[in-house]
Amino acid sequence: MRVIQISFFVDPQRRPPERLLSDWHSLADIAVAVASAGVRVTVVQASRVPGEVVRNGVEFLFLPPDEPSGLLTRSTSFTAALRDRRPDVLHVHGLGFGREVLALRGLAPSVPIFLQDHADRPPRFWRRHAWRRGAAVAEGISFCAAAQAEPFQRFNLLARAVQLFEIPESTSTFVPGDRAAARAATGLHGDPAVLWVGHLDRNKDPLTVLAGVGEAARYLPGLHLWCCFGSAPLLGAVQARIARDAVLRDRVHLLGRVPHDLVEQLMRAADLFVLASHREGSSFSLIEALATGLTPVVTDIPSMRALTGNAATGALWPCGDSRALSEALQAVAAALGPQTRAATRAHFDQQLSSAAIGRKFERAYAALTTPRPVGVASSRTS
């Protein structure tokens, strides 16, 4: 089977191909995962900086969109790539490229189109007709959690015949490592040491985490919280909350933005991973934590239920409920043992590893290229 994975989003920073693959690691991770299942994969990325890279058996083409339309599907280099490779499935990243997907259907009328959700939301009312037309030509759509399709179904944005698949958004190349060595290298400490990796914004809800940690510290006096973050619109509020609370003042460490390889080391050094998100398409930081064997204590939302196997590892707690977070931290900390990391990594290997993700996508592609008997339901879990 041959698949072309297509990303229509154009990098506004105009990064060269090698740099883009490094910064957008999921672009390569998904393709390499699928290739590991025996699928021949070409990735086409819309890019103002053209180029070609071959990595782990995957061909990456960086092609400029057509001018002046701005559409990749109108460029001669794209149509030539499509013609020369003759794919069995066209896999499009994102649900918000209706014009491009419609044009893609015109270029390859008989090739199944598979759309992969990347934290997309239902469009505004005035854009729904155009969005619906684009989605209607797709034979399959994947979400990290099946429940994430419900808002689109509620607005009748998905065709009834479309096949829906539950597939994690990506994987991770992180691996477990020696905890003591990681602590020595990073300086991270605590009993337990709790790690946060996420923006300091309202959706990620760091203030609830601080409240939960403050309460849990009454029962876990050795607890320390370490926070890695990028954008931080709530940084002032977070700093003020820490400054006025003697319990938090000496046990919360704001690390800010750190290199990606250091995140792996911090995850190896920590005991627990916490997130308070109200909404996630698929949490890359949670996937990375699971890859290192780090036990999650995360909010009970669809994507995190799916990624943790409904708390097959770690614990889930209700959004915005600091007391529930405190209780979850205490319960999970008490249950930590010598085999905890191995069990968490085993869950990752079975459900979220490159090989596991590759098999899930390969089965989805096979389903789209195999005629369905009349009456077969359109939704699947891969």
Q: What is the DSSP string of 200-222?
A: SSTTT-HHHHHHHHHHHTTT-TB
Residue 299 neighbours by CB under 8 Å, 6+ apart:
275, 276, 277, 278, 316, 317, 318, 319
pLDDT of residue 208: 98
Q: How far apart are the first and last CA of the chain?
A: 18
Tell which residue, 162, 148, 164, 151, has the closest CA to residue 381. 164
Q: Which CATH architecture has domain 179-352?
A: 3-Layer(aba) Sandwich (3.40)
Domain boundaries, the chain: 2-166, 179-352
**Which pTM value belongs to this model?**
0.92
The Cα 227–Cα 200 span in angstroms is 9
Residues 291/345, Cβ–Cβ less than 8 Å = yes
Q: What does each of the 382 residues of the chain score in pLDDT, given as a tens digit?
A: 999 999 999 999 999 999 999 888 889 999 999 999 999 999 999 999 999 999 999 999 999 999 888 899 999 999 999 999 999 999 999 999 999 999 999 999 999 999 999 988 888 888 888 888 989 999 999 999 999 999 999 999 998 899 999 999 999 999 999 999 999 999 999 999 999 999 999 999 999 999 999 999 999 999 999 999 999 999 999 999 999 999 999 999 999 999 999 999 999 999 999 999 999 988 999 999 999 999 999 999 999 999 999 999 999 999 999 999 999 999 999 999 989 999 999 999 999 999 999 999 999 999 999 876 655 555 566 6
Residues 242/248, Cβ–Cβ less than 8 Å = yes
Q: Which CATH architecture has domain 2-166?
A: 3-Layer(aba) Sandwich (3.40)
The Cα 99–Cα 135 span in angstroms is 10
